[in-house]
């Protein structure tokens, strides 16, 4: 099945730094979702984007729905230790409708205190 291209695959940063990651697709989507997964747990929804060009924030997190509907990015400002985990993007509502999500491979974030 299709997968999104998510980058970078991993990031090693210092506490307090800003983080940026992105997802691209060859297909258009009507929805972009960003999830965070802690080790051994299920993914938790962080931000949902429904409109091309939309910029949405959730605390220190900001995500944007690309104007072409083929990409999205997630920024985390002033990182803290609890931001450690794997971040996944997911797209839906394109050629396959709303029933299924297509996931990126994930970005593993590690923070040095």
Partner 1 sequence: DGGITQSPKYLFRKEGQNVTLSCEQNLNHDAMYWYRQDPGQGLRLIYYSQIVNDFQKGDIAEGYSVSREKKESFPLTVTSAQKNPTAFYLCASRPTGTGSSYEQYFGPGTRLTVT
Contact positions vs partner 1 (CB under 8 A): 1, 3, 6, 30-31, 33, 35, 40-45, 48, 88, 90, 92-93, 98-101, 103-106
Rounded to a whole number of angstroms, the minimum distance from the CB of residue 106 to partner 1 is 6
Q: Least Å distance between CB 67 and partner 1?
A: 19
8: left (phi over 0), alpha (psi -120 to 50) or beta: beta
Q: 84, 78, 90: which is closest to 5 by C-alpha?
A: 90
Question: Closer to partner 1 at the Cβ: 30 or 75?
Answer: 30
Please, what is the minimum distance in Å from the beta carbon of residue 65 to partner 1? Answer: 12
From the centroid of its chain, how far is CA 14? 20
| Rounded Cα–Cα distance for residues 56 and 44 (Å) | 17
């Amino acid at each position: 099945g299709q997968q999104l291209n998510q980058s970078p695959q991993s990031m090693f940063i210092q506490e307090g730094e800003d983080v940026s990651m992105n997802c691209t697709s060859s297909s258009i989507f009507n929805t972009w979702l960003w999830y965070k997964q802690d080790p051994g747990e299920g993914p938790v929804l962080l931000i949902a984007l429904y409109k091309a060009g939309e910029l949405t924030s959730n605390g220190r997190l900001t995500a944007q729905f690309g104007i072409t509907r083929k990409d999205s990015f997630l920024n985390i400002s002033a990182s803290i230790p609890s931001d450690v985990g794997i971040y996944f993007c997911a797209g839906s509502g394109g050629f396959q409708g709303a029933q299924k999500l297509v996931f990126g491979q994930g970005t593993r974030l590690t923070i040095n205190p």
